[in-house]
Amino acid sequence: MGRGVQVGSYPVLYSFRRCPYAMRARLALAVSGQACELREVVLSCKPEALRQVSTKATVPVLIDTDGQVLHESLDIMLWALQRHDPLQWLPAQGEMADALFLIGRCDDEFKPQLDRYKYPGRFNLADRDEARDMGAGFIGELEQRLSRDRCLSGTQWGLVDAAVAPFVRQFAHTDSDWFASQPWPSLQAWLANFEASPLFQHVMAKHPPWQSGQAQALIFTEPAL
Ligand SMILES: N[C@@H](CCC(=O)N[C@@H](CS)C(=O)NCC(=O)O)C(=O)O
């Protein structure tokens, strides 16, 4: 158990509704049926309790009932799905390395371009087109995969889809008209299905910011995609 980590009856999830990393964690937790105390965080005013368990204090952070602290969204997804994976989101053993490789490319290559596209001013960029076009390279690859298989995880929605979709969604919403005009029919349909799904609606429910000592919302499983 981590020093000074308070544990309760349910794992605690520090989350921020619009954060794509937190979204992917909530998707896996919800589909695994894992009840958690959800603590909605305001990033500009992080709770002291979060800083105490995590020096980097990014979201999501999960604290298990035994005091184990997970600071990375992908670790939280794997933790939840390894406990219970009713829809078989986890890749088959021989496919795990490929799945993690694509998720890694999303995080390490695509996400930096997404940030530059969304916030060119923060990066002193004269315009956002170069970042958008670099991000579009990754999206084009996803389109090719999705034109062969219904989902990034194969025939069924799974770990890779849930890990990547929140980031593709942000990219799409940065300039919806431009995105809709691109030749990505399979990816556009895949994203629309995701956004319309009961599971996505469930994990996007609004919760007021958590304050120390306050009762927390519980998140539970929802119908499948
Ligand atoms: N590698 C981390 C990244 C998490 C992350 O960067 N989250 C953002 C919000 S989307 C954050 O907490 N940023 C810290 C801050 O804004 O202070 C993960 O996968 O969980």
What pLDDT, in 10s, does the model give residues 23-56?
Answer: 999 999 999 999 999 999 999 999 999 999 999 9
Q: Whose alpha carbon is nearest atom 14 of ligand 1?
A: 58
Residue 182 in contact with residue 136, Cβ under 8 Å?
A: yes
Cα of 60 from ligand 1 centre, angstroms? 7
**Which of 59, 70, 122 should be mutated for ligand 1, with most atoms under 8 A from CB?**
59
SS3 196: helix
Given this model, what pLDDT does residue 206 score? 94
Q: Which atom of ligand 1 is nearest to the CA of 56?
A: 14
**Closest C-alpha among 165, 175, 212, 142 to residue 31:** 165
pTM: predicted TM-score of the whole model, two decimal places = 0.94
- Give tens-digit pLDDT for 70-89: 999 999 999 999 999 999 99
CB-ligand 1 contact for 43 (6 Å cutoff): yes
Question: Is-cis flag, bond preceding 60, omega within 30?
Answer: yes
First to last CA, the chain: 35
Ligand 1 neighbourhood includes 142 CB (under 6 angstroms):
no
DSSP line for 31-99: HTT--EEEEE--GGG--HHHHHH-SS--S-EEE-TTS-EE-SHHHHHHHHHHH--TT--SPPGGGHHHH
